[in-house]
Chains A and B, each alone.
Chain A
Amino acid sequence: MSDPKTMLRQRVDELLAAYDPATVSATEFLGARFDAGLAWVHFPEGHGGLGLPQEYNEDVANWLAEAGAPEPDRSRNGIGLGMVAPTIMAIGTKEQQEKYLRPLYTCEEIWCQLFSEPGAGSDLAAVATKAVLSGDTWTVDGQKVWTSGAHHAKRAILVARTDIEVPKHAGMTYFLVDMEDPGIEVRPLRQITGEAEFNEVFLNGVKIPDADRVGETGEGWKVATTTLNNERVAIGSGADREAGHIGVLAEKWRKYPAIRSEAAYHELMHWWIEAEVTRLTGERLRQQLEVGQPGPEGSAMKLAFATQAQAITGLAIELDPDHGLLYDDWTMHRPDSTDFLGRDVGFRYLRAKGNSLEGGSSEILRNVVAERVLGLPAEQRLDKGIPFKDVPR
């Protein structure tokens, strides 16, 4: 076999010949794609990959898209695909990799994330949900919050406190949880938009076999960091010009001359340019990743995204006052997936408020950029080096 690209092209053709996307179900096709090593080519053979450099994923995706083949549904299983899979691949046991990766990829099993708690938001290492080992089974009690998709998730990743006698970062452990356990109760958490995208999850005597622990006992912080780093990498992908909120607003501007004014024009152009330079920065980051030189700007770009989403949706409301005074629907829904652009302007404005909170608040991200990218000294802390049980909470 000459070069990887030729080999991959051949594998893609064989896959398409054996499983015609027009006739087989998405699940069946994705399963076959996984078995052919074409799910994520940078993973090892047997786990949906072929041990090739990451850059070839783009070729495979393009060829399959041309043939009209289905992709796994990132809007429903984003946590599974973007965060759980790389974590299990990097740190999970062989058994975990064999058991979980394939159904995750085909989206037969949707995953959710049980990290945040009422008392552990920005300060994730303050989780108080307790896990106790007896024999080879853990028993978990506690409460999680801001869990998207918990109501149709089959499985979850969980960070729990396993030792209160050591400093907080050292006493956490990372688990894979079956969401069908009778000790799990999921309640919708209604947001300012009227919807309930997220849930509260109560854990009462939930049982987890020790085989579903990821990493060593007490190393949960390190494992969670792997997961969250993947969350940030997932953000910096190349997009088309006017792909986000700015595109919706620019289209409206073009369509309705009545909303235009000289002053609003300059504000619109200001945000158009901001969105464009963020797009260019994302494109450059993608090019850096392709040649194996990822830059540190990913976490900073989320700041830009949040600021722009909030400002642009606010401007969009103001531009059309008689429309901005109305709201499309306050009925409590539990949507299957999140679309920041999907509804009317009032919804988009309210939903955008979450963009500077979810996945790391903008304040925390500024600390991350300042400390890890610029190398500024850390803030003095009151919780360093003391056992978790003695930390003020």
Chain B
Amino acid sequence: MTNLLYTDIEDALRESVRGAMERHLDPHSTTGIYDEPKPWEAKAWQSLTEELGVAGLLVPEDRGGVGAGPREAAVVLEEIGRAVAPVPYLTSSVIATQVLLELGESEHIAALAAGEATAALVLPWSARPGHWSPVQGTEPVKPVAGAVGADLLLIPVADAGGVQLHLVKAAETTVESLVSFDMTRPLAAVTPASGEVLATGDDAHRAVEAGLQAGAALLASEQYGLARSCLETTVDYVKNRIQFARPIGSFQAIKHRLADLYLEVTQAGAAARYAAATLADDDADKAVAISVAQAYCSDVAVHAAEEAVQLHGGNGMTWEYPVHLYLKRAKSSQLALGTPEKHRQDLGPLVNITT
């Protein structure tokens, strides 16, 4: 079986990303995005792209990247989830980048890897591998993640041969921000437009599919990071919150919930790691691993955030405490790239279980 552990290099990468997120983000300004929307937190994104160079992890060195891979990108996403960081890493540095990688494109991919530009795949955020349709007609596509503020839009458009993949500059079409459940990953309505045709037919289809697969596989790591953070924050809270003259964390009613959550979070870590590893190895079990990770980690992230709200008591219900940022990201991510129910549906035939 593939290696599920972290390397020393990955541990060091984690430390750097965590440090950057701690320096450049604070929960109060992140919450502020709900009142004054912005595409991302510029300083945090700058730090990831310019100081740490992690936008190019998936991109080979000869195409302007750093030649790492999905395992390393997964570690970055764990830390992004941990901080609920408002940065377009998943949409631009993973999904759009993977689409371009698959096509052998090298001009724009170098710009994405360097953090000089960002891009988004224009499909509803609920689209999932194996189940998406190219854009038909002129009605805006929504809700699209990563499009607000992006320089480049990758639009799969329906044509007689199946699909044509267009590269459209954001300035050449309309990207309308939507009021999103999770404003730290704002969604948009994107009006379809024609641009440079990057690929057609099977090539275009395969590229979009690869982008969605990478997105679904690695979203699991973001969800795991978020869940782990909720668990740690909540454990810390119940150790220090005194009621009835004792820390509430000494009550079994609370301990047992957190023990169960620990188990879920631990298992989510293994599932997410397996998905990242099979993606990195292009393993034959990749599709199974992705559906398992998405079905499992989506629900664990939501459960962890819900437990955090409940066990923080009234504080968890306030705008001031950052717990709600986690709940909104978790619930929104549960729907992203396929709901758990859809992934359970997809998984059955892959393991020879059908209705």
| Contacting pair A280 B250 (CB below 8 A) | no
Interface string of A282-300 (1 = CB under 8 A from B): 0110011001000101001
From residue 272 to 320 of chain A, which have CB atoms closer than 8 A to chain B? 272-274, 276-278, 280-281, 283-284, 287-288, 291, 295, 297, 300-301, 303-304
**For residue A304, which residues in chain B have a CB less than 8 angstroms away from its CB?**
263, 267
A167 to B299, CA, bound (A): 45
| Contacting pair B5 A366 (CB below 8 A) | no
Across the interface, B5 reaches (CB within 8 A) one of A238, A253, A274, A288, namely: A288
**For residue A374, which residues in chain B have a CB less than 8 angstroms away from its CB?**
235, 255, 258-259, 262
User: Is A18 an interface residue, CB under 8 A from the partner?
Assistant: no
For the complex formed, measure the closest distance between the CB of B304 and the CB atoms of chain A, giving whole angstroms.
13
Interface string of B228-263 (1 = CB under 8 A from A): 000000010011000000110110101110111011
User: Is B295 an interface residue, CB under 8 A from the partner?
Assistant: yes
Across the interface, A377 reaches (CB within 8 A) one of B249, B344, B351, B352, namely: B249
For the complex formed, measure the closest distance between the CB of B249 and the CB atoms of chain A, giving whole angstroms.
4
Interface-facing stretch out of B64-72, B143-151, B269-277: B269-277
User: Is B296 an interface residue, CB under 8 A from the partner?
Assistant: yes
- Give the nearest-CB partner of B247 in chain A: A377
For the complex formed, measure the closest distance between the CB of B283 and the CB atoms of chain A, giving whole angstroms.
13
| Contacting pair B3 A300 (CB below 8 A) | no
For the complex formed, measure the closest distance between the CB of B73 and the CB atoms of chain A, giving whole angstroms.
19
From residue 375 to 393 of chain A, which have CB atoms closer than 8 A to chain B? 375-380
**For residue B268, which residues in chain A have a CB less than 8 angstroms away from its CB?**
277
| Contacting pair A280 B270 (CB below 8 A) | yes
**For residue A276, which residues in chain B have a CB less than 8 angstroms away from its CB?**
271, 292
User: Is B29 an interface residue, CB under 8 A from the partner?
Assistant: no
For the complex formed, measure the closest distance between the CB of A302 and the CB atoms of chain B, giving whole angstroms.
10
Interface string of A245-285 (1 = CB under 8 A from B): 00000100110000011100110111011101110110110
Across the interface, B4 reaches (CB within 8 A) one of A262, A268, A283, A365, namely: A283
- Give the nearest-CB partner of B300 in chain A: A277
**For residue A376, which residues in chain B have a CB less than 8 angstroms away from its CB?**
235, 238-239, 247, 249-250, 254-255, 258
**For residue B9, which residues in chain A have a CB less than 8 angstroms away from its CB?**
none
For the complex formed, measure the closest distance between the CB of B216 and the CB atoms of chain A, giving whole angstroms.
15
- Known contacts being A262-B355, A277-B268, A374-B258, is A270 close to B344, with CB within 8 Å? yes
| Contacting pair A370 B348 (CB below 8 A) | no
Count of A interface residues, CB-CB < 8 Å: 46
For the complex formed, measure the closest distance between the CB of B242 and the CB atoms of chain A, giving whole angstroms.
11
Across the interface, B267 reaches (CB within 8 A) one of A260, A280, A370, namely: A280
**For residue B247, which residues in chain A have a CB less than 8 angstroms away from its CB?**
376-377
- Known contacts being A269-B348, A284-B270, A287-B3, is A277 close to B252, with CB within 8 Å? no
Interface string of B1-20 (1 = CB under 8 A from A): 10111000000000000000
A370 to B262, CA, bound (A): 9
**For residue B266, which residues in chain A have a CB less than 8 angstroms away from its CB?**
281, 295, 297, 300
| Contacting pair B267 A367 (CB below 8 A) | no
For the complex formed, measure the closest distance between the CB of A241 and the CB atoms of chain B, giving whole angstroms.
8
| Contacting pair A375 B259 (CB below 8 A) | no
User: Is B347 an interface residue, CB under 8 A from the partner?
Assistant: yes
| Contacting pair A277 B267 (CB below 8 A) | yes
| Contacting pair B352 A254 (CB below 8 A) | yes
**For residue B256, which residues in chain A have a CB less than 8 angstroms away from its CB?**
363, 366-367, 370
User: Is B160 an interface residue, CB under 8 A from the partner?
Assistant: no
Across the interface, A366 reaches (CB within 8 A) one of B250, B260, B341, B351, namely: B260
User: Is B171 an interface residue, CB under 8 A from the partner?
Assistant: no
A287 to B3, CA, bound (A): 8
Across the interface, B1 reaches (CB within 8 A) one of A283, A301, A363, namely: A283
For the complex formed, measure the closest distance between the CB of B196 and the CB atoms of chain A, giving whole angstroms.
41
For the complex formed, measure the closest distance between the CB of A167 and the CB atoms of chain B, giving whole angstroms.
21
User: Is B353 an interface residue, CB under 8 A from the partner?
Assistant: yes
A301 to B269, CA, bound (A): 13
| Contacting pair A269 B3 (CB below 8 A) | no
From residue 297 to 355 of chain B, which have CB atoms closer than 8 A to chain A? 341, 344-345, 347-348, 351-355
For the complex formed, measure the closest distance between the CB of B314 and the CB atoms of chain A, giving whole angstroms.
21
Residue picked from A297, A300, A374, most chain B C-beta under 10 Å: A374
Interface string of A346-375 (1 = CB under 8 A from B): 000000000000000001011101110111
- Give the nearest-CB partner of B268 in chain A: A277
For the complex formed, measure the closest distance between the CB of B280 and the CB atoms of chain A, giving whole angstroms.
15
A369 to B235, CA, bound (A): 12
- Give the nearest-CB partner of B348 in chain A: A269
| Contacting pair A367 B270 (CB below 8 A) | no
- Known contacts being A253-B353, A268-B353, A272-B353, is A284 close to B263, with CB within 8 Å? no
A280 to B274, CA, bound (A): 8
- Known contacts being A277-B270, A376-B249, is A300 close to B353, with CB within 8 Å? no
| Contacting pair B5 A273 (CB below 8 A) | no
**For residue B348, which residues in chain A have a CB less than 8 angstroms away from its CB?**
265, 269
| Contacting pair B353 A370 (CB below 8 A) | no
Across the interface, B263 reaches (CB within 8 A) one of A291, A303, A363, A380, namely: A303
Interface string of B55-93 (1 = CB under 8 A from A): 000000000000000000000000000000000000000
For the complex formed, measure the closest distance between the CB of A56 and the CB atoms of chain B, giving whole angstroms.
19
For the complex formed, measure the closest distance between the CB of B1 and the CB atoms of chain A, giving whole angstroms.
6
| Contacting pair B1 A300 (CB below 8 A) | no
A274 to B295, CA, bound (A): 10
**For residue B258, which residues in chain A have a CB less than 8 angstroms away from its CB?**
370, 374, 376
**What are 19 A-B pairs with beta-carbon distances under 8 A?**
A253-B353, A266-B345, A269-B344, A276-B271, A277-B292, A277-B296, A283-B270, A291-B5, A295-B266, A297-B263, A301-B263, A303-B263, A366-B252, A366-B259, A370-B255, A373-B262, A374-B258, A377-B246, A378-B250
Interface residues of chain A, those whose CB is within 8 Å of chain B, are: 238, 250, 253-254, 260-262, 265-266, 268-270, 272-274, 276-278, 280-281, 283-284, 287-288, 291, 295, 297, 300-301, 303-304, 363, 365-367, 369-371, 373-380
Q: Which 4 A-B pairs have the closest CB atoms?
A: A370-B255, A366-B259, A369-B259, A269-B344
Interface residues of chain B, those whose CB is within 8 Å of chain A, are: 1, 3-5, 235, 238-239, 246-247, 249-250, 252, 254-256, 258-260, 262-263, 266-271, 273-274, 292, 295-296, 341, 344-345, 347-348, 351-355
